[in-house]
Amino acid sequence: MKGIHRVVVYTKRLRYEFELRRNITVIRGDSATGKTTLVDMVQEYANNPSGSPVELVCDKKCYVLSGTLKQSYHEFYRIYGIDLLREEVKPERIVAEDSNSGYQFFCGVCSDYNLECDTAGGKSNLFHVLNSGEDEKILAIADGAAFGSEIDKVIQLMKRRKNLVLYLPESFEWLILLSDVLNDREIMHILDNPYEYIESREYFSWERFFTKLLTEKSEDTYLAYSKKSLNKAYLNDRVKLAILSQMKKIVFGN
């Protein structure tokens, strides 16, 4: 799947309209708000396309997969991003979800500003690490493109612990691409509308696409990127500051 797909499902009584941009979109909400009814209507149309009281308009065929599905969704829109921060945040400790290049980069940043830096060792451990933390101002950084299954409980914890701030770029690689350190116009076009370029059959998560894009675009340059081990060039002041400048409202140092 590529691009935006508009779905309109309606009967005499009900009408749903929404747009899909990613391979998985999760619908959540209070009971009796119409989630099951939407699925039932799509199923009714799919079972009886010629003689159904349900009308469905979409440029793709729509089906219902039913049964006991494990709660293992991985995509969600970046609704808990930086836009929600009203004030500047000056962290005292950074916790990165992963232990690869992203963590190594933020350890380098923390070393410059005398901050603590830790890895949660995976997104499923992030809640525990934040839950066990002290009262210091903690900035937790995770890949927004792959954090959906954990977001609910972390947000619930943040509501009760004012010292926690969660920053969810699509991924660390997306942050690097956005900083324009590779000075590549095509990258900026892609970042403007990633859904026009990412084929969901190839990339289960957008994070994987951005990693491949960064790896390919930086190949044979001094910024050659490897996810496992951070190229030290990303810690030189110009590159580092360009990346950090994308983290709006997060202040490092004075």
Binding mask 143-182 for other proteins (x = CB under 8 A): ---------xx--xx-xx----------------------
**Cα 18 from Cα 166, distance rounded (Å):** 28
14 lies in the binding site for other proteins (CB under 8 A): yes
Q: At its nearest, how many Å lie between other proteins and the CB of residue 96?
A: 20
- Asked if residues 46 and 66 have their Cβ atoms less than 8 Å apart, the reply is no
CB nearer to other proteins: give 40 or 186. 40
Q: Kindly state the number of chain residues that form the binding site for other proteins, as judged by CB under 8 A.
A: 22
Angle between helix 101-113 and 237-244 (nearest 10): 100
Contact by Cβ (8 Å): 144, 171: yes
3-class secondary structure, 69: coil
Query: In this chain, which of 50, 61, 65, 71 binds other proteins, going by CB under 8 A?
Result: 71
Q: Which CB sits closer to other proteins, 13 or 201?
A: 13
Tokens of 178: 């956005």
Closer to other proteins by Cβ: residue 13 or 238: 13
Question: Rounded to an integer, what distance in angstroms lies between the CA atom of residue 232 and that of residue 225?
Answer: 10
CB of 100 closer than 8 Å to CB of 228: yes
Identify the residue among 131, 193, 236, 245 touching other proteins (CB under 8 A).
131
d(CA 80, CA 206): 17
Question: Is there binding between residue 32 and other proteins (CB under 8 A)?
Answer: yes
Question: Min. distance of Cβ 31 from other proteins in angstroms?
Answer: 2
- Interaction site with other proteins (CB under 8 A): 13-14, 29-37, 68, 71, 127-128, 131, 152-153, 156-157, 159-160
